[in-house]
Amino acid sequence: MTVADETSQAQAPVCWCCGNQFEENDLVRLGSHPEVGVCFGCARFLHRRAVGQEDQRRTSLAGRIRSAISGVREWVIAHNWHRLPLVGLLLQRLDRHLP
């Protein structure tokens, strides 16, 4: 394989957040900047951060509950319990279903 062949091969799109390669249909593109793509996992992470920052600005019961859950989640991760099979699975389910 020549250098020209290697450079002419299309590279898989890269997530602008985590840097991993994905298929195009596994990325979410930004509206005003379609060159920027974020994978679903990073999109969920960014959504969680946005909700957390919004909760800090406006205190509410739902925001306090989300903050408590987030605190427990961070504590579990800090202690590496998320690597345990059952706990890791539960955290992944929480990530999918919590706002």
Which residues of the shown chain bind Zn ion in the complex (CB under 5 A)? 15, 17-18, 39, 42
CB 31 within 8 A of CB 10: no
Closer to Zn ion by Cβ: residue 20 or 60: 20
CB 77 to Zn ion: min, Å = 18
Dist CA 23 CA 89 (whole Å): 25
Closer to Zn ion by Cβ: residue 38 or 55: 38
CB 35 to Zn ion: min, Å = 15
Q: By C-alpha distance, which of 29, 59, 61, 55 is closest to 42?
A: 29
CB 47 to Zn ion: min, Å = 13
Dist CA 75 CA 95 (whole Å): 15
